[in-house]
Structure 1
Amino acid sequence: MIQQKEPDYVPMELDRDSHNFFALDGYEYIMNNKIPLMIKSLDPSAEVVNIFETKEARQILDTLRRYYKAGFINKDAALREPGGLKRGAKVFWKSSGGGPLSETTWSKDRGYKVVANPVTPSVVTTESVRGGIMAVNANTKHPAESIKFLNLLNTDPEIRNLFNYGIEGVHYTLDAKGQVVPISSKDKDGADASSRYAGVQYTQGNWFILNTMGGGYPDPLDKWEQFRQYNAGVVKSAVLGFTPDLSKMTAQTDNIEMVWQKYYPSLMTGSVDVGAILPKFNHELKQAGIEDVRKEVQRQLDAWRAVSR
């Protein structure tokens, strides 16, 4: 319907590093998507698999191919750089990872109302937790000061808000409810252009001491309480906390990533014939050593499970 009645819109926007569609079948990556070894998140006895050898992956790839041939997916998907939608981009559907109130943030960023619909359970995985880790470089000359700073960033609201929003009165103001309203200026084309310091919220530490956002599409005043409730209800992956040590297999993992870069973007966007390309992908993955890596990850996982139970 969108394709026919709204021809200016891309029905489905994908890029070369598109999101984990295999999560629809309950899979998570053991490391990251460039090493396509996955496991069923909620099965405590599941084995590690090359996802591209599974029937679930074949079904997903065939569906994406059908959508691409029907014109639903943007033709440049296999080449498009990953990232969020640009303001003014006419896109009907895009996949993304998010949590509670994500649509409020997306609506604010896009400048129009975005509606989000979760399609997988809220599962906390090792990969997702790893995205929130902050560390101090072992080679720093000031380790104690670095730790003191990280402590402030996670406990001092003034420091936390400074790094996320910039300087009050310069980059933002506070409204009557104490919510942040970015100070905007006009760009060279006369359009509104925010002058705020563009902190990336999820990379900087404790969220719960941040002021919420006001202005267009404001955050609810109880935003962080909603996040606490959400966090309390997530399901833990059966392999939460497991990270394999592949430091002795860097040659294999490097080769696997090179094969991944060759085939993954086109397969995962429906851009190529699955029946012709998928066997080549799996053949070259085996030549690169994916089966040796899979067996080593499985061995370490078995040992981890034996200790964890």
Structure 2
Amino acid sequence: MRTTRSSGTVLAALTAVILGITGCGGGNSGASAPSKAESTAAAATAGTEGSTNPDTSTFRKLKVYTVGNFPQNDTKAVVDEINKYLKEKINAEIDFQGLPWSSWAEKMALAYQSGEQVDLTFAPNWADFANNVAKGAFLPLDDLLAKYGQGIKETLDPRFLDGGTVDGKIYAIPTNKEIGESHTIMFRKDLVDKYGFDVNSIETLEDLEPWLQTIKEKEPAIAPIWLSGSGSDTLGYFDKTRESMKENFRYELVAGAPAGIVLDTKTDKMVISSMESDTAIYRMKLYGDWFSKGYINKDAATTKTSTEDAFKAGKTWMKFGSDKPDSDKEDSIATGIELVKLKGNEPEISTASVSNSMMAIGRTSIDPERTMMLLNLLHTDPVLVNLIDFGVEGRQYVKVEGKENFIKLPDGIATRADTGWAPGIEWMFGNQTITYLWEGESADKWEKFKAYNESAHKVKSFGFNFNTDAVKTQVSVVSNIIKEFRPLLETGSLGVDKVLTEYNKKLKANGIEEIRAEVQKQYDAWKAKQS
């Protein structure tokens, strides 16, 4: 299947992908970036203020919402530096609302419904973006982008803007990062070397079995595979089974649709994967086999411990991640453990991949114009982006002597988490390609990103977003059924045949066919407009 979602990790469609199978600063002044960054920042200011001569005489306090590993101990110090910089640039400050993953969705839904001030907010496709647009939660951005977002238009690949477009209008601006997606599994390099494993020898998920058996026998204290059925962890991150490769990855996730419905690219028809996709059924049975052999942690269906946390705690030797350039180096720095990764599929551009990280301006914004200026700076000003991403120089990082644009942890600090600012939001804000590089990353990382993006190809359903309004009751019920059964089917914890039979029976009884028909109807209408 063509899986099409990431950044980390983390995302709603990937949390159900198996059921649907088939994404700086400087000193205390906050402005001591390298001369190259300073010149870019100066250009950014010109791009923001430009010929439109925006009126910034009135001070604004803009409320900015995002989600991540919050709370962070040093949030106040970082936000204070951000605000010093923004006061100089656009006479504004931010009221930074960093929400934890556990409560973010609920709190944002309440904020939209209550009319609370929302100036800038993280609004990815997988977090009910299309429905929030339909409910009027976000402002259309076309005019604002034209007047105050010239820097965005000059630096962002225009293909990204399709991700934030609904019915011909732009409602969100995607992050400038990898435009396509591919996923991987990463492993501790010390154990890979200890047992003579060759990452280049792994072509399919099944090829890992000898590795898993070795780890089970010789490293009994750790799980060969750690899954968390209650979270977003899934072996679907590495979508290269023998069955899926034989079928040439024919199934695609459908943006906005329940994960149990996928597009069969050979027939151009929507199918219910757990009933009609041999690829999906094969994968679930493979998980059952691996669970019975002891390769998967015994509490996989119920544990609240994510693969990431289990890895950091030494309970497993593997973790999931993106196969974008240098992702293994990024994760090695983040965890403090050297990692190697498997080669994923070639990157694919989908509606999900160009929209899995976006920022929108709320309809309750006190100043949409100033908010767009802020968003423009996030895409063009390295001083601001590095402050948000990495914190304050001297507190969260130090410059690498003799290496322009490289940073490292201060002496005596083991991991980024120990600095007080490591919320994991780099993939959410602005323009990744103007940020610092960590010591150990490739100097040509952003050139690799450019090549990676150029190599990405569009999936068949690119641009299509399913609107659930006509079947919202059925979608709500079916989504709850998926949530109920996903931990069992994605971890192989119980007899797959029995669970799958019960799962399909419930889907049929609660409207999956009506949803499938509506997705097909909308897809056919959308497809007709493309020709």
TM-score of the pair, normalised by structure 2:
0.54
SS of residue matched to 1:283? helix
Is contact 2:255-2:464 (8 Å) kept? no
For each residue in 1:187-215, what CA deviation from the matched residue of structure 2 results, as whole angstroms up to 9, or x when unmatched?
9xxx996315224111112111101111x
Aligned length: 301
Is contact 1:171-1:182 (8 Å) kept? yes
Q: Percent identity, please.
A: 27
Q: Compare 86-95 and 10-19 and name the one that shifted more.
A: 86-95
Provide closer, same or farther for how the CA distance between residues 195 and 71 of structure 1 changes in structure 2, counting only shifts above 3 A: same
CA distance in 2, matches of 1:184, 1:37: 51
1:88 offset after TM fit, Å? 4.0
1:266 offset after TM fit, Å? 0.8
Is contact 1:124-1:240 (8 Å) kept? yes
1:57 offset after TM fit, Å? 1.3
Provide closer, same or farther for how the CA distance between residues 94 and 170 of structure 1 changes in structure 2, counting only shifts above 3 A: closer
CA distance in 2, matches of 1:158, 1:98: 27
Residue matched to 2:461? 239
1:108 offset after TM fit, Å? 1.4
Match among 5, 9, 15 for residue 228 of structure 2? 15
Match runs of 1:86-105 below 5 Å: 86-105=311-330
For each residue in 1:169-197, what CA deviation from the matched residue of structure 2 results, as whole angstroms up to 9, or x when unmatched?
2221111213121336669xxx9963152
For each residue in 1:83-122, what CA deviation from the matched residue of structure 2 results, as whole angstroms up to 9, or x when unmatched?
5244242423444333111111121122222111123332
Mark the runs of 5 or more structure 1 residues left unpaired by the alignment.
Answer: none
CA distance in 1, matches of 2:322, 2:385: 24
Residue matched to 1:294? 516
Is contact 2:227-2:307 (8 Å) kept? no
SS of residue matched to 1:49? strand
CA distance in 2, matches of 1:116, 1:266: 27
Q: Compare 203-212 and 26-35 and name the one that shifted more.
A: 26-35
Residue matched to 1:136? 361
Provide closer, same or farther for how the CA distance between residues 304 and 124 of structure 1 changes in structure 2, counting only shifts above 3 A: same
Match among 262, 279, 283 for residue 56 of structure 1? 279
CA distance in 2, matches of 1:103, 1:120: 16
Residue matched to 2:350? 125
Mark the runs of 5 or more structure 2 residues left unpaired by the alignment.
Answer: 1-213
Q: Which amino acid is the alignment partner of residue 180 of structure 1?
A: I
1:261 offset after TM fit, Å? 1.4
Residue matched to 1:66? 289
SS of residue matched to 1:180? strand
Q: Which amino acid is the alignment partner of residue 465 of structure 2?
A: T
Q: Which amino acid is the alignment partner of residue 261 of structure 2?
A: L
CA distance in 2, matches of 1:164, 1:101: 17
Is contact 1:37-1:51 (8 Å) kept? yes
Match runs of 1:97-246 below 5 Å: 97-176=322-401, 177-178=403-404, 179-183=406-410, 194-199=418-423, 200-214=425-439, 218-246=440-468
CA distance in 1, matches of 2:235, 2:499: 19
TM-score of the pair, normalised by structure 1:
0.90
Q: Compare 50-59 and 77-86 and name the one that shifted more.
A: 77-86
Match runs of 1:275-294 below 5 Å: 275-294=497-516
Is contact 1:44-1:239 (8 Å) kept? no
Match among 277, 281, 302 for residue 79 of structure 1? 302
